Amino acid sequence: MTDFFISYTSADVKWAEWIGYALEDNGFSVVIQAWDFRPGSNFVLEMQRAAAEADRTIMVLSPDYLKSQFASPEWAAAFAQDPQGQDRRLVPVMVRSCEPKGLLPQIVQIRIFGQDEATARQLLLQGVERKRAKPSSPPPYPGAAAVPPKDFPGPTTPAAAAQARPASRLLPNLNRAPSDIDRRRFITNGFNTIKNVFEANLQQVEQEESRIQTDFQLVTNTDFRAELFLDGKSKCICRIWQGGMLSSDGICYAEGRVHSDNSCNEIISLAEGGQLAFRAIMAMGHFSFEKQFDLNNMSPEQTAEYLWQRFVSSLGH
């Protein structure tokens, strides 16, 4: 029997692989779609076998996972085998901040989002252990008496008291506006998120649907092409690149085979108001899926999903 089956969505494939590698590096056995579902195999049967034969199921928990229709049966199977959590058959690992609903909030999570790699690895390995989490060294005695402060030997004047008083008592927290480098890094990280989501989604749809073949070409670190074939016929093709028509602080999306730096179908720019978020400048409400997004205030993950929906929209025609 395999120790862990790792359940995840395409948006979190890199997290799933990192978790799987960390577990196998420490003696556990895992089944993960990216490594174990090989071309020619039946995706549904492989998923059913993996969920049934694994001792425990790890949920790679994120906003995309909670929205996924394919992920629900995977964790539900583990939950049904252990509804009271006595055997810890279902282990949620939160990699991006989200708010689970329904039954999921009752299950204790391993939260690694926002942590550095060493801390995340430690939290993961400690979390999957079934033994008690007793520390190896004794904790400090909580009842130790505090040392009383010594009286200040000099004169106490209003001016001296004002100088000693922490600034936080006089002023509220001052929010710092994002700097130019903050915005530039946000755009670069946003482009990388879009690139990773497209590459992972293309791999997944090709595995899930035998009629589909895909192609992903990374032209430069800031420019890629994606193409999807149905029954051998090219149906969806796009170019996405950082920079473009209006300014270097944006991301352009263009459909079709002929691409230039001076034309595109969508421009992703920073949202108005100074916050680190994206907005879609050219959205006109022509697509029904646009209602799923606040197109004036999107996270990098939401932006990637919005562009992916635009990319595959022609398959419905």
The DSSP code sequence of 281-305 is SS--S-SGGGGGS-TTSB-HHHHHH
Q: Which residue has the tokens 């907005």?
A: 279
Residue with token string 């649907």: 209
Residue scoring higher pLDDT (32 or 80): 32
Q: Is residue 26 assigned to a domain?
A: yes
Reading the block at residue 220, the tokens are 């430069």
**Are residues 113 and 219 located together in one domain of the fold?**
no
H or E stretch at 16: helix 13-24
Rounding to the nearest 10 degrees, give the CA dihedral for residues 198, 29, 109, 304: 0
Whose structure tokens read 């049904």? 80
pLDDT at 101: 81
Q: What would the pLDDT profile of 20-61 be if each residue is shown by its tens digit? A: 999 999 999 999 888 888 787 777 788 778 878 888 899 999
The answer to whether residue 137 is domain-embedded is no
Same domain membership, residue 93 and residue 188: no
Angle at 148 between CA 146 and CA 150, to 5 degrees: 150
> What tokens does 57 get?
């199921």
Given 84, 101, 128, the domain boundary residue is 128
CATH (domain of 115) = 3.40.50.10140
The upper half-sphere exposure of residue 110, i.e. CA atoms within 13 Å in the direction of its Cβ, equals 21
Whether residues 267 and 192 share a domain: the answer is yes
Dihedral angle sign, alpha carbons of residues 115, 116, 117, 122: negative
CA-only gyration radius of the chain, Å: 25
Write down the pTM of the prediction.
0.48
Total domains in the fold of the chain: 2
Gap between the terminal Cα atoms of the chain: 45
H/E stretch holding 255 reads strand 250-255
Chain position carrying tokens 């174990």: 36
Confidence of residue 14 (pLDDT cuts 50, 70, 90): very high
The answer to whether position 229 is within a domain reads yes
> Would residue 140 count as lying in a domain?
no
Same domain, 98 and 198: no
Buried b (16+ CB within 10 A) or exposed e, 186-206: bbeebbebbbbbbbbbbbbbb
Indicate whether 80 and 205 sit together in one domain. Answer: no
For residues 60 and 15, give the distance between their C-alpha atoms in angstroms, rounded to a whole number. 7
Q: Is residue 123 part of a domain?
A: yes
Q: Are residues 116 and 7 in the same domain?
A: yes
Looking at the domain assignment, is residue 141 inside a domain?
Answer: no
Write down the mean pLDDT value for the chain: 82
Pair (211, 84) in one structural domain: no
Backbone angles phi, psi at 279, to 5 degrees: -135, 150
Residues 230, 124: one domain? no
Cβ neighbours of 295 (radius 10 Å): 20
- My answer on whether 123 and 193 are in the same domain is no
Same domain, 237 and 121: no
Same domain (yes/no): 195, 297:
yes
Give per-residue pLDDT as tens, 151-204. 555 555 555 555 555 555 566 655 667 788 888 889 999 999 999 999 999 999
Quick one: which H or E segment has residue 182? Answer: helix 180-208
**Residue 203 placed within a domain:** yes
Give the torsion sign (CA, 50, 51, 54, 56): positive
Residues above pLDDT 90, as percent of the chain:
36
Q: Which of 97, 128, 159 is the last residue of a domain?
A: 128
Residue 94 and residue 213 in one domain: no
Q: Name which of 134-143, 198-207, 231-240 the model is least confident about.
A: 134-143
Residue 114, domain member (yes or no): yes
Domain extent, residue 277, equals: 180-316
